[in-house]
């Protein structure tokens, strides 16, 4: 039976430390919370007050419980008050020297068997531990932000950590009602190592004005179901902390993708640290507030669809999953919709797929039977491209092959009337290469729907160097009528979502291949630590490993980033035919 802790301490009561104090006190432990001076003590106490006040307001915490929580916490500026603590978690800023000083001090005041833990996100736990004379009693205990909410705790053992200490740490975490994942001492551990490359990439998308702040965040929330967008998350984590984490990761990996995006350094220097200072990528109504207020970057409310061309009649080309879904979306929104499939059999198949989907929507009370009838009345199938001769907008969703799409656009160029808008729903090809097959590339735009199109709210509207402003405005107006959320970006491989998503998935494969953690632990870390709806390996198996490899290869070819090179393990699994759920085996094996 391993040891039960009842008296614990936390050093540093900032974003993380205050949350950790709350977690401990909520679990009935006696906590000593240490800050560097009286003013910081008050601020730290204020964090716990604000967080528990919020819980009381929301009815999640009884006022008496809140009082009891505060009864168990002693806030102090005297680190010596930790002398009786059986376990201490350090959560001071992400600076190695500072942490080493704190640990040296902790060693001198605590008992020899006190378990010492650092909440570092990226620094070497080993280097921190050897600042004490008893590194075997030092572990990493990496909580996630906000600590009272997120259940993952990465427990880090170094080469000198005593096995017993690691077990104690793990059991302690379980006792808090949290989920521990035990890993070795590598910068970023599991979750941050996978998260920060992605956050950094999003920051540089913003910095290079590839897409706007809200569009980047909305794309990842709506396109991937993430609980928050990357820039909002950077603000929550703190840009200073984020900078330090990336800097440490870069020093260890030498991967350019971890080199902090220059804008992070500039913002930190300017004191724009995120929520904690009231301003980061977004502006908040006051420091430490989650409430975003408009600022100079907030999109203006002038009509974004000014100059949009009128669209009444729509054509959809293709008969696969995407084309079928898109045709249904248009028909449901009241557009006169003609879809073109190759051959009568495919025409009939699309129609019955739409009928089934509409029936399901009626059964689930998503639409009325009348709306379903109307949608079907709006939908006409044909096998002749010539039937698109009167369309105002044609959306192509045929196979993802450049030559096929180019040939189709060249034909559409001959058939579809002047002034119509032509859209491709490609997810990885360059829109301008498709557009160049026509004599009217100004009329061509990317409309990247997500699967299933009926359900997913996001559409990426992709303008090429030639897309006319009124064509983009038309695409935006159409998305609005479809009830979709449009984000705009330019014509670069992966647009917003795939460019941010697939390198992260690829990094997860590399981490697995390096035997740093198991697929289960990695999936758990991202779901429980970051609130992702699926872990990377679950998602890869759903998306299809071949699809992931193709997208990652496109990104690698376009950006020539060594860090984007597809992970060899991904290539090997594809070669072996382990393509994911559809093949019955990918990273995991499925019952057929
Ligand atoms: N922010 C996150 O999302 C997050 C998540 C997990 C882990 N972490 C890690 O947690 C640690 C703390 O990060 P944070 O975001 O809470 O930083 P923060 O800047 O919000 O808080 C750090 C606190 O430490 C205090 N402090 C500084 N020197 C001190 C000392 N000598 N003694 C006592 N207190 C001292 C500061 O006054 C400040 O209140 C870092 O190692 C960070 O990498 C952060």
- Residues 494-514 have pLDDT tens digits of 999 999 999 999 999 999 999
* Sequence-separated (6 or more) residues with CB below 8 Å from residue 232: 217, 281, 282
Q: Which of 175, 154, 135, 138 is nearest to 4 (CA)?
A: 175
CA of 96 to the centre of ligand 1 (A): 12
> Under a CB-based contact definition with an 8 Å cutoff, are residues 129 and 161 in contact?
yes
Closest residue by Cα to atom 25, ligand 1, is 12
DSSP string, 18-48: HHHHHHHHHTT-EEEEE-SSHHHHHHHHHHH
E-state strands within 389-523: 393-396, 421-424, 444-449, 458-463, 485-490
Which residue did the predictor score with more confidence, 65 or 122? 65
Q: How far apart are CA 75 and CA 181, in angstroms?
A: 30
Burial of residue 193, with CB atoms counted within 10 A of its CB: 0-12 exposed, 13-18 middle, 19 or more buried: buried
From atom 30 of ligand 1, which residue's Cα is the shortest distance away? Answer: 36
Please, what sign has the CA dihedral across residues 82, 83, 84, 85? positive
Q: Name the residue of 9, 17, 530 to mutate for ligand 1: max ligand atoms within 8 A of Cβ.
A: 17
| pLDDT tier at 3, thresholds 50, 70, 90 | confident
pLDDT at 376 over 60: yes
498 labelled catalytic: yes
The closest residue, in CA terms, to atom 6 on ligand 1 is: 144
Average per-residue pLDDT for the chain: 96
Q: Which residues of 266-329 form beta strands (DSSP E)?
A: 283-284, 292-293, 313-317
Q: What is the pTM of this model?
A: 0.90
Ligand 1 center from residue 193 Cα (angstroms): 19
Q: How far is the CA of 245 from the centre of ligand 1 (A)?
A: 12
What's the DSSP call for residue 195? Answer: H
Residue to probe by mutation, ligand 1, list 47, 89, 93, most atoms within 8 Å of CB: 93
Q: Is residue 302 scored above 70 in pLDDT?
A: no
Residue % of the chain over a pLDDT of 70: 99
Q: What is the pLDDT of residues 93-102, one digit of tens each?
A: 999 999 999 9
Q: What is the mean pLDDT of residues 521-539?
A: 96
Active-site residue among 122, 242, 378, 427? 427
| d(C-alpha 487, C-alpha 96), whole Å | 40
In DSSP terms, 316 is beta-bridged to 339, 395
**Which residue lies with its CA nearest to atom 13 of ligand 1?**
93
Q: What is the mean pLDDT of residues 292-321?
A: 89
Q: Which residue, judged by its Cα, is nearest atom 12 of ligand 1?
A: 91
18 Cα: distance to centroid of ligand 1 (angstroms): 9
Pocket-forming residues, ligand 1, beta carbon under 6 Å: 11-17, 34-36, 40, 91-94, 98, 102, 119-121, 142-145, 237-238, 241, 276
Which pairs from 558-562 meet CB under 8 Å and 24+ separation? Answer: 558/492, 558/493, 558/494, 559/493, 561/256, 561/257, 562/255, 562/256
Q: Is 38 exposed, middle or buried (0-12, 13-18, 19+ CB in 10 A)?
A: exposed
The answer to whether 35 touches 42, Cβ cutoff 8 Å, is no
Residue nearest to ligand 1 atom 3, measured at CA? 237
The pLDDT value given to residue 2: 56
Instruction: Work out whether strand 87-90 and strand 30-34 pair parallel, antiparallel, or are unpaired.
Output: unpaired
Asked if pLDDT for residue 297 goes beyond 80, the answer is yes
451 a catalytic residue: no
Q: Which of 15, 105, 117, when mutated, tests ligand 1's pocket best, judged by the most ligand atoms within 8 Å of its CB?
A: 15
Q: How far is the CA of 58 from the centre of ligand 1 (A)?
A: 27
**Residues facing residue 274 across a β-bridge:** 279
Pocket test for ligand 1, best of 16, 41, 81 (most atoms within 8 A of CB): 16
Q: How confident is the model at residue 428 (pLDDT cuts 50, 70, 90)?
A: confident
pLDDT in the model for residue 553:
96
Phi/psi of residue 261, each to 5°? -55, 130
Predicted confidence at residue 178, as pLDDT, reads 97
| Cis before 146 (ω within 30) | yes
CA distance 324 to 404: 18
pLDDT band at 304 (very low <50, low <70, confident <90, very high): low
Q: How confident is the model at residue 1 (pLDDT cuts 50, 70, 90)?
A: very low
Whether the CA torsion 496, 497, 501, 502 is positive or negative: it is: negative
Q: How far is it between the farthest Cα atoms of the chain?
A: 84
Ligand 1 atom closest to residue 92's alpha carbon, by position in its atom list: 24
Percentage of the chain modeled with pLDDT above 90: 96
Catalytic residue status for 460: yes
> CB burial class (10 A; 0-12, 13-18, 19+) of residue 310?
exposed
Q: Are 430 and 493 in contact (CB under 8 A)?
A: yes
Give distance in angstroms: CA of 14 to centre of ligand 1.
5
In the reported structure, the alpha carbon of residue 175 is separated from the centroid of ligand 1 by a whole-number distance in angstroms of: 24
Task: State pLDDT tens for residues 203-213.
Answer: 999 999 999 99
Residues 6+ apart with CB under 8 A from 258: 196, 197, 200, 246, 249, 250
- Tell me, in angstroms, the distance from the centre of ligand 1 to residue 22's CA: 15
CA distance 238 to 18: 15
**Which whole number is the average pLDDT over 18-36?**
98
Q: Residue whose CA is closest, atom 2 of ligand 1?
A: 237
pLDDT band at 303 (very low <50, low <70, confident <90, very high): low
Count CA within 13 A, CB hemisphere, residue 190: 34
DSSP 84-139: T-SEEEE---S-HHHHHHHHHHHHHHS-TT-EEEE--SSS-HHHHHTTSS-GGGEE
For the segment 404-415, what is each residue's pLDDT rounded down to a tens digit? Answer: 999 999 999 999
Cα–Cα separations (whole angstroms), residue 312 to 83, 441, 555: 75, 22, 36
Residue nearest to atom 38 of ligand 1 (CA): 14
Burial of 81 (0-12, 13-18, 19+ CB in 10 A): middle
Closest ligand 1 atom to residue 120 Cα is: 41
Check if 427 is active-site. yes
The alpha carbon of 105 is separated from its chain's Cα centroid by a whole number of angstroms, namely 38
Count of beta carbons in the 10 Å neighbourhood of residue 317:
27
């Amino acid at each position: 039976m391993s040891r039960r802790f009842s008296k614990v301490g936390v050093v540093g009561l900032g974003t993380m430390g205050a949350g950790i104090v709350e977690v401990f006190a909520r679990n009935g432990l006696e906590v000593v919370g240490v800050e560097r001076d009286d003013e910081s003590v008050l601020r730290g106490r204020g964090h716990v007050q604000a967080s528990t006040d919020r819980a009381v307001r929301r009815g999640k915490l009884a006022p008496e419980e809140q009082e009891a929580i505060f009864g168990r916490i002693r806030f102090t500026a005297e680190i010596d008050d930790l002398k009786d603590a059986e376990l201490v978690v350090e959560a001071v800023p992400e600076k190695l020297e500072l942490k080493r000083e704190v640990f040296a001090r902790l060693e001198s005041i605590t008992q020899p068997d006190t378990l010492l833990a650092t909440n570092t996100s990226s620094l070497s736990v080993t280097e921190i531990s050897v600042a004490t004379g008893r590194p075997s009693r030092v572990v990493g205990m990496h909580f996630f932000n906000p600590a009272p909410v997120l259940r993952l705790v990465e427990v880090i053992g170094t080469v000198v950590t005593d096995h017993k200490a690691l077990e104690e740490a793990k059991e302690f975490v379980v006792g808090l009602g949290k989920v521990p994942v035990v890993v070795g001492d590598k910068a970023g551990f599991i979750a941050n190592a996978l998260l920060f490359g992605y956050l950094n990439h999003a920051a540089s998308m913003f910095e290079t004005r590839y897409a706007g702040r809200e569009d980047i965040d909305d794309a990842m929330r709506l396109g991937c179901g993430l609980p928050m967008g990357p820039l909002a998350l950077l603000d929550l984590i703190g840009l200073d902390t984020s900078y330090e984490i990336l800097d440490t990761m870069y020093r260890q990996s030498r991967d350019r993708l971890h080199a902090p995006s220059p804008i992070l350094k500039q913002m930190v220097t300017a004191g724009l640290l995120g929520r904690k200072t009231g301003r980061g990528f977004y502006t908040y109504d006051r420091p430490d507030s989650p409430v975003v207020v408009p600022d100079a970057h907030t999109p203006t409310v002038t009509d974004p669809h000014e100059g949009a061309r009128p669209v009444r009649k729509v054509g959809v080309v293709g008969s696969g999953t995407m084309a079928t879904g898109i045709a249904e979306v248009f028909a449901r929104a009241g557009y006169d919709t003609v879809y073109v499939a190759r051959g009568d059999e495919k025409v009939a198949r699309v129609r019955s797929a739409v009928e089934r989907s509409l029936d399901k929507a009626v059964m689930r009370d998503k639409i009325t039977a009348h709306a379903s009838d109307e949608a079907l009345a709006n939908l006409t199938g044909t096998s002749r491209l010539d039937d698109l001769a009167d369309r105002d907008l044609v959306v192509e969703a045929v196979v993802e092959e450049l030559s096929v799409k180019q040939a189709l656009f060249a034909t559409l160029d001959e058939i579809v009337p002047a002034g119509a808008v032509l859209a491709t729903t490609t997810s990885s090809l360059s829109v301008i290469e498709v557009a160049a097959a026509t004599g009217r590339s100004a009329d061509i735009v990317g409309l990247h729907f997500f699967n299933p199109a009926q359900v997913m709210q996001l559409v990426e509207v992709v303008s090429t160097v030639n897309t006319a402003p009124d064509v983009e405005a038309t695409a935006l107006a159409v998305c609005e009528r479809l009830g979709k959320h449009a984000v705009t970006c330019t014509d670069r491989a992966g647009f917003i979502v795939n460019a941010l998503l697939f390198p992260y998935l690829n990094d997860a494969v590399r981490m697995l291949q390096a035997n740093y953690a198991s697929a289960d632990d990695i999936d758990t870390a991202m779901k429980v630590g970051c609130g992702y709806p699926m872990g990377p390996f679950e998602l890869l198996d759903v998306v299809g490993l071949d699809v992931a490899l193709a997208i990652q290869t496109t990104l690698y070819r376009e950006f020539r980033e060594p860090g984007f090179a597809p992970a060899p393990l991904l290539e090997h699994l594809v070669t072996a035919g382990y393509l994911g759920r559809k093949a019955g085996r990918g990273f995991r094996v499925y019952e057929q």
